[in-house]
Chains A and B, each alone.
Chain A
């Protein structure tokens, strides 16, 4: 067994997932490439969205990859951290908005 669940070297093996279900992997990577191409949004804009989402889903591989990609695409440290805060705000807000559900239940159960 590996000493850690996450190994940075494993990111380079991402393409190997095709060894077990090639068709599905091929479709995924093809789709992935299309998603990140310049289109209605630029590849640059998508890189920053990916950085934020990487933090929301807390994927260390994605954080490494899109930190480097964001640097390459010319984002400043301030812009990158603001993107992370967007993820944080949505995650925090998603928890907090459930407070309304809690309040509704309190109302229902209370005299």
Chain B
């Protein structure tokens, strides 16, 4: 499967995506606006609580082409963060108290400077999280990475949209589930997921279709039971993440005729408590080219930080970024529905 951008699909254009989630038809147009919902609970304009997580998207290249991917990542994407830009990230981190560096993509492992960067950041004493699709670790070029990451205490947060093969493969491609089980066993063997090692292995659940995640605790228990009984696999935590109406997932919603119902469900499930805890309030997202965003979703919609805050890593200014106004739009309802959603799962 090709990325939307390689297909020259209209929804590969962020402006078109924003138009669709706001004005696709009369029903979508009539839905409450996110700004209004924030205003009703005195949260607009949305301000940061202070940056604690430095999330870098090191490139959109991926060995997979998942149907729901908000990045539109895939083997045909060439956008990769250069060593120079990674060095700007290191420089920014040197002068800050930010402790968590979260690496995402694409498959972040495919950035040619991945190992160098993880080494440098680990030496600074920062906690590194790698968002892995698991299957990349089942290739010869990357098969030594699990041990490399274990040696540096890297936390691995990996995608596993469901505990069953059928639904996982439906979203991520045939064969994904089996490869994922194989790599999870490898990770367990070197100590990941085991309390005594401190090597954290977290799984990410996201709905395979046009519905919201259920209760995170309940799903965690289901995963624990099934993965242990069926495969002897253990892990630390499970994060439920809501699919946001962006890129390929938005394309799925439109093509399947689910857009209106899904948007309506997100909006009627708006939870003020979740809005208080949205991740953009304590996260900054850095794009492959060094541009700054409030979150990875805003990055994909090319909504850069503004209102006087710097919008490129070269102009890093923590004080200005901590007092910025966060850019919001209709996709943000995905993070405030129900128990809320973030890169660390439910927020309430």
Residue positions of A touching B, CB distance < 8 A: 42-44, 68, 71-74, 76-78
Chain A nearest CB, measured from B135 CB (Å): 22
| Cβ 8 A contact of B214, one of A73, A76, A77, A78 | A73
- Decide if A44 touches B218 in the complex (CB within 8 Å): yes
Closest CB pairs A-B (n = 9): A72-B214, A73-B214, A74-B222, A76-B164, A74-B219, A71-B211, A68-B211, A72-B211, A74-B214
B214 — which chain A residues lie within 8 A by C-beta? 44, 72-74
B218 — which chain A residues lie within 8 A by C-beta? 42, 44, 73-74
Contact A77:B166 (CB < 8 A) given known A71-B209, A72-B207, A72-B211: yes
Contact A76:B219 (CB < 8 A) given known A68-B211, A71-B207, A71-B209: no
Scan residues 194-224 of chain B and give those whose CB is less than 8 A from a CB of chain A: 207, 209, 211-215, 218-219, 222
B interface, over-half SS: loop
A76 — which chain B residues lie within 8 A by C-beta? 162-164, 166-167
Chain A nearest CB, measured from B319 CB (Å): 42
CB-nearest residue of chain A to B212: A72
B212 — which chain A residues lie within 8 A by C-beta? 72
Chain A nearest CB, measured from B30 CB (Å): 14
Chain A nearest CB, measured from B274 CB (Å): 16
CB-nearest residue of chain A to B208: A71
Q: How far is the CA of A72 from the CA of B243 in the complex (A)?
A: 13
A77 — which chain B residues lie within 8 A by C-beta? 164, 166-167
- CB pairs A–B below 8 angstroms (14 shown): A43-B215, A44-B214, A71-B207, A71-B209, A71-B211, A72-B211, A72-B213, A73-B215, A73-B218, A74-B222, A76-B162, A77-B164, A77-B167, A78-B164
B222 — which chain A residues lie within 8 A by C-beta? 74
> Could you list 5 further interchain pairs (A-B, Cβ under 8 angstroms) beyond the known A42-B218, A73-B218?
A71-B211, A72-B214, A74-B162, A76-B162, A77-B166
Chain B nearest CB, measured from A63 CB (Å): 14
Q: How far is the CA of A44 from the CA of B214 in the complex (A)?
A: 9
A42 — which chain B residues lie within 8 A by C-beta? 218
Q: How far is the CA of A43 from the CA of B167 in the complex (A)?
A: 23
Chain B nearest CB, measured from A25 CB (Å): 19
Q: How far is the CA of A91 from the CA of B216 in the complex (A)?
A: 35
Q: How far is the CA of A78 from the CA of B164 in the complex (A)?
A: 10
CB-nearest residue of chain A to B223: A74
A78 — which chain B residues lie within 8 A by C-beta? 164
Chain B nearest CB, measured from A13 CB (Å): 13
B219 — which chain A residues lie within 8 A by C-beta? 74
